Amino acid sequence: MSKKWVYLFKEGNATMKELLGGKGAGLAEMTNIGLPVPGGFTVTTEACTEYYNQDRKLSNEIIDQINKNLAILEKECEKTFGDVNNPLLVSVRSGAKFSMPGMMDTILNLGLNDETVAGIAKSTNNERFAFDSYRRFIQMFGDVVQEISKDKFDYVLESAKEKNGYRDDTELTADDLKEIVVAYKKIVKDETGKDFPLDPKEQLLMAIEAVFRSWNNNRAISYRNMNDIPHDIGTAVNVQSMVYGNMGDDCGTGVAFTRNPATGQKKLFGEFLINAQGEDVVAGIRTPRDIEDLKELMPEVYKQFQETAERLENHYRDMQDIEFTIEKSKLFMLQTRTGKRTAAAALCAAVEMVEEGLITKEEAVLRLDPISLDQLLHPTFEEAALKAAELLATGLPASPGAATGKVYFTAEAVCAAVANGEETLLVRKETSPEDIEGMYAANGILTARGGMTSHAAVVARGMGKCCVAGCEAIKVDEAAKQFTVGNQVFTEGDFISLNGSTGSVYKGSIKTVTPELSGHFAEIMAWADEYRTLKVRTNADTPNDAAVAVRFGAEGIGLCRTEHMFFDEQRLPSVRRMILSESKQQREKALAEILPMQKEDFIGLYKTMEERPVTVRLLDPPLHEFLPKESKDIEALAADMGFALEDMVTIIQGLEEFNPMLGHRGCRLAITYPEIAQMQTRAIMEAAIEVKQECGFNVIPEIMIPLIGINEELTYLDKVVRKTAELVKSERKSDIKYLVGTMMEIPRATLIADQIAKTAEFFSFGTNDLTQMTYGFSRDDAGKFITDYKEKGILPNDPFQSIDVEGVGKLVEMGVVLGRKTKPDLKIGVCGEHGGDPKSIFFFHSVGLSYVSCSPFRVPIARLAAAQAALSNNKTTFTDK
C-alpha cells in the first residue's frame, strides 16, 4: 500500500502533532469532539520532507491523494471546486509541529476565478463581497505563491481610492473592485509572463507548494534558530473550506484565550472584529474590540463560544488559544492550540488548575518551562525613580516587565546598536515577522498600532520581553527616525522607558529593581522541592550573591571562587607582593597580610549561609592574571614596590604563558607555592570556628582542590591542607569537622576517579574545563567558531552551555561510577555552567549526582528542572515551544 500523505480532519487527532502539525492536529481533535469546524484535510509534514527530497516537487502519489481528499471534501460541503453556481473555496495554511506565529504563509479564498466569482456573487447575493474576495485572493496568491511585491498591488488599490476620493477600502464599489481585479491580473501577467491561473486545482497545488517553500524562508529559519526548533521536521498544510467573517454585520472573526495570557487570570480574554476576515485581527490593521462586547452584540453566539472555550480547556486540560469566525450568526472554530503565555501567567494558571482539580501537582510542575522562570526574575522599575519619571503616553500592556533604552525605529538599527553595547527599545507603527531579530535584540518593544493579539504582543509574550502595543498617542515616522507625542519629538538614540504590565511609556531612563518571589511562584517551587532528589546549590563568592541565592532557594554554596577576592583593590598590592616575592619568607609575609581579609570573606559567607554547606575552592587562575598589563600601571607598580622598571617587565614577562589555561594554574600553583593553600586553609578554618563561636552555626567547610589530573597531586595537597586544618583546630581547641575534596575537570581525573576517591571526600565536576579539555576547544575562543559549527550541523548546540551527553557526559558518568566504587556514599556535584541548564540537569539527575550548583539567578530554574527530571524519569517534557 502506498504511504498516506493526506488526512481528512476526521482521520486525525490531538496526538498527531508531528505528522499533522499543531494546527492540523487541533482541527482534527475539534472535529472529532463534535465542534463546528469547517471541513478540510491536512497534507502531512512528511509530504513536506518528501517535497524537498524530490527536489522541490510534489510527487504524483501526493497529488493523487490531494485530489481524492478534495473530492471527499466537495461531497461533504456539497460544493464543487470551480463550479460556476456553487463553488467550493478553501483556505491554505501552514502548520508545523511547533507553532511559529506569522512565520509562514497563508492563502484565503482559493478557488476563485472569473467564473466562480459570479457563483459567489449569486450564492451570497453580494457582488461587492465576491469581487473583494477575488481581489484579495489574487493579491495573496501573487504575493505568497508568485513572489510579486505586495506594493504593486497596494499601489493599484490606493490609486483607485484616490481617484474616487475614498478614505476606506470599504467605500470601493463592486465596479471599482472589478476594475482592480483586471489591474491585478495584469500585474501578474507582467511580472510572471503568464496569465493568472484560473484552474482551481492548479491554484491549489501551487499554493501547497508555496507553503512548503515558506518553511525555508528567511524569517522562518531565523525563528527556528532562536527557538531551537529543528530545521528538518517540515510543515504540514491545512486545506479547509472557507467561512466568511466579512459578509456583513452579522459576521465577524476573532482570537481568544481561555485565560489571560499575560496574568493567567481565569477569564475569557480576546478580541474580535465585526465584518472582517481572519487576518485583520492579528495584522493590527483595525483596532479590535474586547471579547466582552460580543456578549451584547450577539448574546447567543457569545454563549456558545464561551461554552466551547470551556469545553476545549477541559478537554485539553490546558489554556487554549482559539481562533473563530462568525458567518451569518453561525460560529465556526478555526484553530485551537495551547496558549502561549508569560511565565507569570503559566505559574498562575498551573497553580489555579491544580486548585480547580483540572490537573495534578505533578502535572503543574512538569508543565512549566524552567527557562521561562527567568522572566519572573526580570526587573521592575524602582519606585522612587518611577515617581520622578514623566509619563508620556499609555498603550496596551501587551507583555509584562520593565525596560529602558534608546529608541530605534528599525530592526537593523536595533541590532547594530546592541552590537555596540547599547540598551535599546524598538519603536514601530506595528511589527511584522521581518522585525523578529530586532525584537529579540531590543530590551522592549513599543508599537503605535495593534491590539493584545497583534504580532508585537504575541511574539513579545513568547519571548518574555516587555512590550507596550497600540499606543495611539505616539505618532511614529519610521522614515524620519522619530516619533512625536503631543509637541514633544523623540529621535533615534533618545532614552525612554516602558512598563509592559501597565502599558505606560515614560520619558528618559528609569532605574530598575529585581522582583519579589512569592505567591504562585513560592507554591510551585515548594511542589518542585517535594519531588526533586537533586540538591541545588549556588556558585557565589560574596555574601551579597549568596543572600540572593538563598532567597531563590539555594541549599548551599557549591563553588566559591576565591580568586575574585584577590582582585579587591585593597588586597591587590599584597597579592602582587606575594607573587613577586623572591623567597618563601617574603611570600609568607605578604600572605599574612591577606589572611585577615580572606578570613573576613568566609565569615561573611558562613553567616549568610548559616549551616548550609559551603565549598571553597583554593586559588585557581595563573598568577600573572593579577599583574598589570598596561605600561602606565606596570610603571606605577614598579615605583610602588621599589623595582627597576626593566626588572618588573622581566618578571611579568617571565610569568606569561603560551597556553595559560593549560599552564601554571589550579592545584599546580599550590604545589609550587604550598603557602598559598596553607593561608587559604587557615582562613577557611578560623572563619568557621569563629562563626560557630559567635553565632552557634555548625559550619562544616568543604575545601576543594582544583584541576587534579594525577592522583599524587591530590594526595600531596590533601596532606598540606589537612596539616594546616588540624593545626588551626589544635590552636583554637576546636573539634570542628571539615571535608577535603576535589574538582573533576581534567579528563584524566575521571578515568582514575576510583583512585582519587580514596583521598577525596567529595567530587565536584567542573564541566567548563572538562568540556574545554575533552573537545580541545579553548573556552575563551570557541565563541568564534561554535556558531559556524551549529549552522553547518556539526554540533547540535554549544557544548559549553548544554552538556555533551555522549562525550563529556560519558566522562562524568565514568567518574561517578568509579568514584562510588571506592566510596559508595561519595557526595558528587557539578559546578560548571551546566549546573543551571535544564537539559544538562536531566542528565546529571540520570547519572545520580548529589547536587547541581549554579549562579544565583538560575537557582529557581535548577530547582524546577531537577523536579521535572525526577518526575519524568529522565524524559524531557517541556517540549511545547
Residue ranges in contact with Mg ion by CB under 5 A: 745, 766, 769
Establish whether 455 is a catalytic residue.
yes
User: Within positions 560 to 599, which residues make up the interface with ligand PEP, using CB under 6 A?
Assistant: 561
In angstroms, what is the minimal distance from the CB of 765 to ligand PEP? Answer: 7
Binding partner selected for residue 831 from ligand PEP, Mg ion, none, CB under the kind-specific 5 to 8 Å limit = ligand PEP
In angstroms, what is the minimal distance from the CB of 854 to ligand PEP? Answer: 10
The residue (of 284 and 666) whose beta carbon lies closer to ligand PEP is 666
In angstroms, what is the minimal distance from the CB of 666 to ligand PEP? Answer: 8
Q: Among 560, 831, 834, 854, which one carries the catalytic annotation?
A: 831
In angstroms, what is the minimal distance from the CB of 538 to ligand PEP? Answer: 12
Sheet holding 495-499, edge to edge: 391-394, 504-507, 495-499, 402-408, 424-428, 444-447, 466-469, 396-399
- Residue at grid coordinates 575552592: 617
| Residues ≥6 apart with Cβ < 8 Å to 827 | 741, 761, 762, 763, 850, 851
The residue (of 77 and 661) whose beta carbon lies closer to Mg ion is 661
- In 3D, which of 616, 631, 495 has the Cα closest to residue 563? 616
Residue 143 makes contact with ligand PEP by CB under 6 A: no
Binding partner selected for residue 152 from Mg ion, ligand PEP, none, CB under the kind-specific 5 to 8 Å limit = none
In angstroms, what is the minimal distance from the CB of 766 to ligand PEP? Answer: 3
Question: Where is 96: in which H helix or E strand?
Answer: strand 90-96
| Long-range contacts of 151-159, Cβ-Cβ distance < 8 Å, separation of 24 or more | 152/187, 152/191, 153/184, 153/187, 156/180, 156/183, 156/184, 156/187
Region class of 254: left (phi > 0), else alpha (psi between -120 and 50), else beta? beta
Instruction: Determine the distance from the C-alpha atom of residue 838 to the mean position of all C-alpha atoms in its chain, rounded to a whole number.
Output: 12
Residue 767 makes contact with ligand PEP by CB under 6 A: yes
In 237-291, which residue ranges form alpha helices assigned H by DSSP? 279-283
- In 3D, which of 453, 476, 456, 478 has the Cα closest to residue 465? 456
In angstroms, what is the minimal distance from the CB of 830 to ligand PEP? Answer: 8
The residue (of 766 and 838) whose beta carbon lies closer to Mg ion is 766
Establish whether 834 is a catalytic residue.
no
Q: What are phi and psi of 336, to 5 degrees?
A: -140, 140
Q: Among 455, 520, 624, 845, which one carries the catalytic annotation?
A: 455
Residue 502 makes contact with ligand PEP by CB under 6 A: no
- In 3D, which of 854, 772, 768, 763 has the Cα closest to residue 813? 763
Residue 837 makes contact with ligand PEP by CB under 6 A: no
Helix axes 838-846, 808-822, angle to 10 degrees: 40
Among 12, 438, 444, 766, binds ligand PEP (CB under 6 A): 766
* Beta-strand relationship, 851-854 and 535-539: parallel
Three-class SS state of 103:
coil
The residue (of 601 and 745) whose beta carbon lies closer to Mg ion is 745
The residue (of 91 and 855) whose beta carbon lies closer to ligand PEP is 855
Q: Mask 806-835, x = binds ligand PEP (CB under 6 A)?
A: -------------------------xx---
Binding partner selected for residue 318 from Mg ion, ligand PEP, none, CB under the kind-specific 5 to 8 Å limit = none
- In 3D, which of 370, 356, 195 has the Cα closest to residue 861? 370
* Beta-strand relationship, 827-830 and 482-485: unpaired
C-alpha span between 283 and 281 (Å, rounded): 6
User: Within positions 532 to 561, which residues make up the interface with ligand PEP, using CB under 6 A?
Assistant: 559, 561
Cell reading at 496:
525612554
In angstroms, what is the minimal distance from the CB of 480 to ligand PEP? Answer: 48
* Beta-strand relationship, 269-274 and 289-290: antiparallel
Q: Mask 615-644, x = binds ligand PEP (CB under 6 A)?
A: -----x------------------------
Q: How many helices (H) and strands (E) does the chain have?
A: 35, 31
In angstroms, what is the minimal distance from the CB of 779 to ligand PEP? Answer: 8
Segment interacting with ligand PEP, rule: CB under 6 A, options 369-377, 571-579, 761-769, 781-789: 761-769
Q: Compute the C-alpha angle 844/846/851, nearest 5°.
A: 40
* Beta-strand relationship, 402-408 and 495-499: antiparallel
Binding partner selected for residue 10 from Mg ion, ligand PEP, none, CB under the kind-specific 5 to 8 Å limit = none
In angstroms, what is the minimal distance from the CB of 622 to ligand PEP? Answer: 12
Binding partner selected for residue 675 from Mg ion, ligand PEP, none, CB under the kind-specific 5 to 8 Å limit = none
The residue (of 452 and 676) whose beta carbon lies closer to Mg ion is 676
The residue (of 601 and 620) whose beta carbon lies closer to ligand PEP is 620
Q: Compute the C-alpha angle 629/630/633, nearest 5°.
A: 100
User: Within positions 145 to 174, which residues make up the interface with ligand PEP, using CB under 6 A?
Assistant: none
Segment interacting with ligand PEP, rule: CB under 6 A, options 68-76, 270-278, 469-477, 763-771: 763-771
In angstroms, what is the minimal distance from the CB of 102 to Mg ion? Answer: 43
Binding partner selected for residue 559 from ligand PEP, Mg ion, none, CB under the kind-specific 5 to 8 Å limit = ligand PEP
In angstroms, what is the minimal distance from the CB of 627 to ligand PEP? Answer: 19
Between the CA of residue 508 and those of 388, 391, 421, what are the distances in Å?
11, 10, 18
In angstroms, what is the minimal distance from the CB of 808 to ligand PEP? Answer: 11
C-alpha span between 664 and 304 (Å, rounded): 74
In angstroms, what is the minimal distance from the CB of 853 to Mg ion? Answer: 13
Residue 745 makes contact with ligand PEP by CB under 6 A: yes
The residue (of 331 and 773) whose beta carbon lies closer to Mg ion is 773
Segment interacting with ligand PEP, rule: CB under 6 A, options 156-164, 708-716, 723-731, 762-770: 762-770
Residue 855 makes contact with ligand PEP by CB under 6 A: no
DSSP state of 87: B
The residue (of 555 and 769) whose beta carbon lies closer to Mg ion is 769
Identity of the amino acid at 209: E
The residue (of 34 and 776) whose beta carbon lies closer to ligand PEP is 776
Between the CA of residue 125 and those of 130, 134, 137, 341, 566, what are the distances in Å?
9, 15, 19, 42, 84
Residue 769 makes contact with ligand PEP by CB under 6 A: yes
Q: Compute the C-alpha angle 212/278/52, nearest 5°.
A: 0
The residue (of 504 and 853) whose beta carbon lies closer to ligand PEP is 853
The residue (of 755 and 772) whose beta carbon lies closer to ligand PEP is 772
Residue 702 makes contact with ligand PEP by CB under 6 A: no
Q: Compute the C-alpha angle 830/832/833, nearest 5°.
A: 125
Total residues at the site for ligand PEP (CB under 6 A)?
10
Segment interacting with ligand PEP, rule: CB under 6 A, options 105-113, 337-345, 692-700, 764-772: 764-772
Question: Where is 467: in which H helix or E strand?
Answer: strand 466-469
Between the CA of residue 762 and those of 68, 320, 826, what are the distances in Å?
67, 48, 6
Binding partner selected for residue 561 from Mg ion, ligand PEP, none, CB under the kind-specific 5 to 8 Å limit = ligand PEP
Among 146, 734, 768, 877, binds ligand PEP (CB under 6 A): 768
The residue (of 252 and 832) whose beta carbon lies closer to Mg ion is 832
- Which residues in 745-857 belong to E strands, given as ranges? 762-765, 827-830, 851-854
Three-class SS state of 684:
helix
CB atoms within 10 A of CB 287: 14
Which sequence positions are flagged as catalytic? 455, 831
Contacts with ligand PEP, residue ranges (CB under 6 A) = 559, 561, 620, 745, 766-769, 831-832
